[in-house]
Structure 1
């Protein structure tokens, strides 16, 4: 039995994956951004071990969430599932769009601060293929509201998720760190018109969470639904770019990458 923590698991695909893992005999800790959402998460997945709360758009809340997770003990796998899409421009208390905070900074902070698991899973998207991998102004602090484009912001953040998986795979050889594209699914995020295969997506999550299959024991791999190994955007393999992304996140959040 594995012990697994899943961010953004109060509803949608995160909740579906949690339910499947519980049904397969694993211990799952859920995450929700508020007490109300935590109640929703528990009702959707009553077999879960517990639920922790924290608003991932807040750097302070995300740091506290990591501390709360650590108080629960060791996890075999952490799945960075939470994400925002088509989020209109606003600014968090930290002065950045919520999408940049949730999709880019939160996975970085949690990975650095949660006690190192055996496996890390970063949820990306095939939309990263057309994302900006330049790493220029990734938090939209210079461009601001006037130039903000939620689709461009989302695509770029999904580039970052693949880069995180590869960077941690390289830095931490004792951890299987991978990323996945769940596909375009008929969830609240994807919409009713989505044509993706939910079962194929769930199978990819489960494989990487359990870590038993041969493919799950690899590291730094990007998976399409199925699971099938995919070919991510070339910039994600650039180690210099990976290090730059980590440093940008460290500088802004004050969270340094563990040795």
Structure 2
């Protein structure tokens, strides 16, 4: 399916997987809006995207905290009023914290992770749903995680639970909305060399990051999903580095 003239909204678009996805969608011809909490970071991201091959002016910014449902509705309404619609939603906003394990985390930390990773994706999807239903076409790409597909130690309970819930969110969307011509994909990447690694209790070395998936790998994957013919739904797409530390033994990669 050609993305020429399509409108894409990418949350978490200021860096990492979100920014890489925005670049590829823009290169494919879509008009892209990137959202994130830091307005200055978004402007820097747009410049980086254009340096990486996104057409000049194809990407614009809409600062947003996806955990704020009212703000999500305002931004979504503005995008749809300005650009006419949202054809592709990429829910890539996500976070984790160094103090992530049962013995050191707390309720406030758990709530912050879930509010962004899960609730934010829900709010954004709800905000564009009715427009997609009216057009009987729309693609939602939920950036879940390998950790939501294959439970592991390294990510901690809040992140693991939120990403597993994103997968359930995706499947429930397809169960209900497939009959309206809509589709959703749970994109489940293994370790990716993105800025979120700075939140690890023990940060990977540069040599370890070089063996992980790279941002551009996920950018191309997001474009691949979006360009599939409208009658095709990729319910889950699991992608990992060949050197997969989940299989090697995530406990060995975590602090003692």
- Give the alignment's TM-score, normalised by structure 1: 0.69
Q: Which residue of 1 aligns with 2:26?
A: 22
Residue 201 of structure 1, CA deviation: 2.6
Paired residues in the alignment total 205
Unpaired runs of at least 5, structure 1? 133-148, 227-259
RMSD: 2.8
Match runs of 1:134-173 below 5 Å: 151-173=156-178
Q: Would the alpha carbon gap of residues 7 and 87 (structure 1) be closer, same or farther in structure 2, given more than 3 Å must change?
A: farther
Q: Choose the corresponding residue for 1:80, options 88, 91, 113.
A: 91
Q: Report 1 or 2 for greater relative contact order, CA contacts < 8 Å, sequence distance ≥ 6.
A: 2
Match runs of 1:57-96 below 5 Å: 57-72=67-82, 73-86=84-97, 88=99
| 1:152-208 deviation digits (Å, cap 9, x = unpaired) | 100011111111111111111110211111321111114543333335433321111
Does residue 186 of the first structure (1) align with residue 193 of the second (2)? yes
Q: Would the alpha carbon gap of residues 8 and 87 (structure 1) be closer, same or farther in structure 2, given more than 3 Å must change?
A: farther
Q: Choose the corresponding residue for 2:138, options 101, 115, 118.
A: 118
Preserved CA contact (<8 Å) 2:72 2:127? no
Residue 103 of structure 1, CA deviation: 0.5
**Structure 1 residue runs of 4+, over 4 Å off?**
87-92
Does residue 129 of the first structure (1) align with residue 149 of the second (2)? yes
Q: Which residue of 2 aligns with 1:229?
A: none
Q: Which residue of 1 aligns with 2:48?
A: 44
Does residue 204 of the first structure (1) align with residue 218 of the second (2)? no
Q: Which residue of 2 aligns with 1:249?
A: none
Residue 96 of structure 1, CA deviation: 7.0
Q: Would the alpha carbon gap of residues 60 and 130 (structure 1) be closer, same or farther in structure 2, given more than 3 Å must change?
A: same
Query: More helix by proportion, 1 or 2?
Result: 2
Preserved CA contact (<8 Å) 1:124 1:161? yes
Residue 35 of structure 1, CA deviation: 2.0
Unpaired runs of at least 5, structure 2? 51-55, 100-104, 198-203, 241-256
Residue 59 of structure 1, CA deviation: 3.2
